[in-house]
Amino acid sequence: MSADAFDELDPAPRLLMGPGPINADPRVLRAMGAQLLGQFDPQFRGYMKQTAELFRGVFQTANPRTLMIDGTARAGIEAALVSLIEPGDRVLVPVFGRFGHLKAEIARRAGADVRTIETEWGTVFTAECLQEAVREHRPKLVALSHGDTSTTMAQPLAEIGRICRAHDALVCVDATATLGGMDLPVDLWELDIVSAGLQKCLGGPSGIAPLTLNQRAEMRILRRRHTEQGLRAPDAVDGEGPIIGSNYFDLAMVMDYWSDQALNHHTEATTMLYGARECARILLKEGLAKAFARHALTDSAMQSGIDAMGLRVFGDRRHKMANVTGVVIPEGVDGEKVRRALLAHFNIEIGTSFGPLHGRIWRIGAMGYNARADAVLATLGALEAVLAAEGVRLPRGAAVDAALARYRSAGS
């Protein structure tokens, strides 16, 4: 065993300006250092109820079934899909980036008859296109991303709930990349089940997945309800549908665990629940409208700086996310070398991308705790310095000046 394995943890103070994770708000980290409690301690059950209540505010919903899935954001996506999809169900997945393909794969693993529609990376679907696809494929479930960090695009969702209800389909939304940074009124948009993560706009660490579902989704899941053998009461009655294929991600059992019944399912991730509660508390105390405006201003300043540097923002700007910007890597520049230099000399991390965009764009995130002027200005200044060292000719100082001017024009 190496000698440094016995050293205390002492990570370098990185500024995480990639597509996520980002630097957690110090208040969240402090909350996560609170004393551990047993999962059925009355204090802890109270914290669970408070967390659910706070996240109803974050999701802009009245759904009683608002809870946490212990695991990263992908755990929330998988819990939603494996609990809703019965073998043979037709599922439509609109793909506009890597994470559409992920949902299609999870749905296939759950035994679905998966149909996909695709659009070029850097673009999104029109409501008319989605409506036509639902009409054509007649799915039981439509699963799609709100924002896909691989392309930096945000799919408009205001019409999808209405479209799905008109065709007796449920809609499942992955809001990992946008919750807390862009408007997502779950009830107003008639979204049936929505999952997310803490590590982006909510300003927390990865490791727990907020999830909300309405009565339509709940009824679909409860028909597959099955009480675990070691917990079964003599009079237990299972649902008439096929058992959910995952025990850990069985939302019927997780809902029982989060209910007043408190039927044991797993040992709750205490410190992660504390972190989730604090993320939601901080966001709601700031106010959703102010948080959305802060992310929008940060995005505008970042784009202003990129433009002033002479670089090109990737994709359809009308539909880009408010928290991640794709930057086309200049011809002849080694994108990975630039990323390594930013990390080595400035302690700043930015992201690469996947699939057809790998090596073509950088992804620069400014969200959650990092959606603030000093983080944006430091990142732009560092990127300019590294590119200049690589021989890229650009107007020195213009990026920071342009971003700062944008902040000043907004009174910040």
Task: Write the burial class of residue 7 (CB in 10 Å: 0-12 exposed, 13-18 middle, 19+ buried).
Answer: exposed
pLDDT per residue as tens digits for the range 152-172: 999 999 999 999 999 999 999
Prediction pTM value? 0.96
- What architecture (CATH level 2) is domain 26-284? 3-Layer(aba) Sandwich (3.40)
Q: 327 with 364: CB under 8 angstroms?
A: yes
Residue 83 has pLDDT above 90, yes or no: yes
- Give DSSP secondary structure letters for 274-327: HHHHHHHHHHHHH-HHHHHHHHHHHHHHHHHHHHHTT-EE-S-GGGB-SSEEEE
Residue that is written with structure tokens 């982006």 in the block: 200
pLDDT per residue as tens digits for the range 48-60: 999 999 999 999 9
Stretch(es) of the chain classified as CATH 3.40.640.10: 26-284
Q: Quick one: pLDDT band at residue 236, thresholds 50, 70, 90?
A: confident
Rounded mean pLDDT of the chain? 96
Distance CA 326, CA 339 (A): 14
Q: 361 with 329: CB under 8 angstroms?
A: yes
106: enclosing H helix or E strand: helix 98-109
Query: What's the pLDDT at 53?
Result: 98
Q: Mean of the pLDDT values across residues 179-189?
A: 98
Residue 336 has pLDDT above 80, yes or no: yes
C-alpha separations of 61 from 188, 246, 379 in Å: 8, 27, 36
Amino acid at 281: R
Residue 404 has pLDDT above 90, yes or no: yes
Q: Tokens standing for 282?
A: 């901080």
Amino acid at 144: L
The matching CATH number, chosen from 3.40.50.970, 3.30.9.10, 3.90.1150.10, 2.40.50.140, for 288-409 is 3.90.1150.10
Nearest to 20, CA basis, from 203, 285, 254: 203
Task: Write the burial class of residue 222 (CB in 10 Å: 0-12 exposed, 13-18 middle, 19+ buried).
Answer: middle
Paired residues of 186 in beta bridges:
none
Stretch(es) of the chain classified as CATH 3.90.1150.10: 288-409
